[in-house]
Amino acid sequence: MADKKTKVMDGFAVVRGLAQAKHDGTLPAPGVRRPPDDAAPRPPPTAMPKDSPHIVKTIEPTKRTIRCFQCGYEFKLAGTTKTIYCAKCREKIDLGDYVIEGPWSEEIKTGGSVIVRPTGRLENARIRAGNVILEGEMDENSAIECNQWLELGGRAKPHPRQLEMRNLRVAAGATMAFKYKLQVHHLELLGTLEADVEATGLVSIRPGGHLKGKVRGAHLQVEEGGGLSARVFIWPQGNPLAGES
């Protein structure tokens, strides 16, 4: 009998699930950190449509990369906790999750996730987090820095110079145009992106997604229903920019 594979949920999949959790009443009020895990039991995870309904799968604790905003040291963390101390400089790191649904002008510094709803607006605010979902607006004096995934969707039209991320996802129905070179590790498109992209990981164009412009990278995946109108330079081995001007 073949071994049953255990489903592993990556960090970004958890962030996407936060949006649905809003409707279940498990997310905190705007700008308020999520209470400790033992304050309210979480509902059991549900199987994805592609999963067999006859097989119960276990979700292992997610290993995520935590970056200390004080010294820049990165380390892995499994499971969930409210706070942790940097393994290098011993700085206390907040791991809470935040939801912004209106004007926001304070700094948020967390190893957790931040969701800016369509009604939210960043005004002279700095967001430093593990993952960020930006559906609202941000003024020219605001900035976002995330060491994992940044998802752009809804009304979001940020200037690329205001963003610093490791991985980028453009949500379905969103259209983004970056005039400056976009440098990321992974890029996932369900919406439309026009840019000059440099990716050291995987560029994935999902059904309904469309990439225009130029892309240099190690791996490219275009699923059925995805569009590609770009000059493509793929180097599976080594630095994709080596030898390029």
124-144: pLDDT as tens digits: 999 999 999 999 999 999 999
* pLDDT tens digits for range 5-21: 444 455 555 556 655 55
Q: Which two tokens stand for residue 151?
A: 């998802």
What percent of the chain stands above pLDDT 70? Answer: 68
The pLDDT value recorded for residue 17 is 62
Bridge partners (DSSP) of residue 43 are none
pTM value is: 0.67
Question: What are the phi and psi torsion angles at 146 (to 5°)?
Answer: -135, 140
The pLDDT value recorded for residue 89 is 79
Q: How confident is the model at residue 93 (pLDDT cuts 50, 70, 90)?
A: confident
Q: Are 188 and 207 in contact (CB under 8 A)?
A: no
At residue 38, does pLDDT exceed 60? no
Q: Are 165 and 189 in contact (CB under 8 A)?
A: no
Q: Give which of 216, 63, 69, 84 is closest to 143, Cα–Cα.
A: 69
What percent of the chain stands above pLDDT 90? Answer: 47
Higher pLDDT, 243 or 157: 157
**Domain boundaries along the sequence of the chain:** 10-35+58-162, 172-245
**3-state secondary structure (DSSP) of residue 8:** coil
Q: Any idea what DSSP says for residue 33?
A: P
Q: Give which of 182, 177, 193, 189 is closest to 217, Cα–Cα.
A: 182
Alpha-carbon Rg for the chain in angstroms: 19
- The CA angle 217-214-204, to the nearest 5 degrees, is 50
At residue 218, does pLDDT exceed 80? yes
